[in-house]
Structure 1
Amino acid sequence: MFTGEKPDLLDLVIFRDDSIYVVGKDGVPQHWDGDEWLPVRTENTNPLMGIWGPHENCIYAVGIGGVVLSYQGKDWKQVDTGSYDSLNSAYGFDENNVFLYGVGGRMIYWDGEKWDYREPNTIHDLFGMWGEDINHIYTVGGEGVFRFYDGKEFKRKDELTEEE
């Protein structure tokens, strides 16, 4: 089953009752096939903090040291985004609109062709993201960070805190 006696699990993505992926501190993604948990083979040894995918043949797992693992229907491969800041999670809408975000306000965006840095207008860690579509996304983080993305830039939302 899992590496270690009881590793800390930190995130999951569910596609169906018989297709669930989890990641955690042991750095080994696990897949539930409806009958058993199976470890996913990767060359990663860093803890994995988050996982997201629009469907079973496009999944991203991210973690400590800026590690990014990508599954595109066959094998899990490590992706070089050009950033080595630790990442907390991933979020998007399809294969061509994926955000990776984490420590120190680091945010990277995949547009289907290349990874680009996106300025979230904060130096604080980012922990969560949710949106209706690519032009309406919210993100939250440390020290009361609350941002709204309008498809062009992340703007402060003052309703939550009096952030300076």
Structure 2
Amino acid sequence: MFIGSHPDLLDLWPFREDSIYVVGKDGIPQHYDGTEWLPVRTENANPLMGIWASDENNIYAVGVGGVVLHYQDKKWTQIDTGSYDSLNAAYGYDRDSVFIYGVGGRLLFWGGDQWHYREPNTIHDLFCMWGTDINNIHAVGGEGTYRFHDGKQFQRKDEL
């Protein structure tokens, strides 16, 4: 199945039964093609914590040390966002609306042309986001952090 040891897997993104990506602590994305798991070649060695995709030609994997890997046009490239804070996950609504987030409330947004820092109104780690569209996104994190994105900014909700 995997080359070398069996790494801790931390996230996955399935497109179909014959196209699944996983990421984990070894820093090597793996792709299942319906027959076998194959490692994805990148220059990354840092653990990867999360993966998100709008489609099979637009995939983001994020991890420790602020690493951001992007798959497009049949190749993976490492993106320099200017941040070295560890990232826990990515979430988006479409290819031009992508959030990456993680340790200490670090939150960056891809709006189609460049990465922008977004104020999450928290210093706590962010772990998960989900929404129905760019105007309705919920985020949760450490110490009971709960934020809501209304399309313009993240607002504090009652802490849990």
- The structural deviation recorded for 1:90 is 0.3
Q: Which amino acid aligns with 2:7?
A: P
Q: Whole-Å Cα distance in 1 between the matches of residues 61 and 3 of structure 2?
A: 17
Which position in structure 1 is the counterpart of 2:74? 74
Matched, 1:104 2:104: yes
Q: Whole-Å Cα distance in 2 between the matches of residues 93 and 20 of structure 1?
A: 19
- The structural deviation recorded for 1:5 is 2.2
Percent of residue pairs bearing the same amino acid type: 72
- The structural deviation recorded for 1:157 is 1.2
Which position in structure 2 is the counterpart of 1:84? 84
Could you tell me whether the CA contact under 8 Å between 1:56 and 1:73 is conserved in 2?
no
Could you tell me whether the CA contact under 8 Å between 1:3 and 1:26 is conserved in 2?
no
Which position in structure 2 is the counterpart of 1:31? 31
Q: Which amino acid aligns with 2:92?
A: G
In structure 2, stretches of 5+ residues that fail to align are none
Which position in structure 1 is the counterpart of 2:122? 122
- The structural deviation recorded for 1:59 is 0.1
TM-score of the aligned structures, taking structure 1 as reference length: 0.95
Q: Which amino acid aligns with 1:141?
A: G
Runs of 4+ in 1 over 4 A off after TM superposition: none
Could you tell me whether the CA contact under 8 Å between 1:67 and 1:87 is conserved in 2?
yes
- The structural deviation recorded for 1:141 is 0.2
Which position in structure 1 is the counterpart of 2:7? 7
Q: Which amino acid aligns with 1:90?
A: A
Which position in structure 2 is the counterpart of 1:136? 136
Moved more, 4-13 or 58-67: 4-13
1:65 aligns to what SS in structure 2? helix
- The structural deviation recorded for 1:4 is 3.5
When the two chains are superposed, the root-mean-square deviation of aligned CA atoms in Å is 0.8
Matched, 1:65 2:71: no
In structure 1, stretches of 5+ residues that fail to align are none
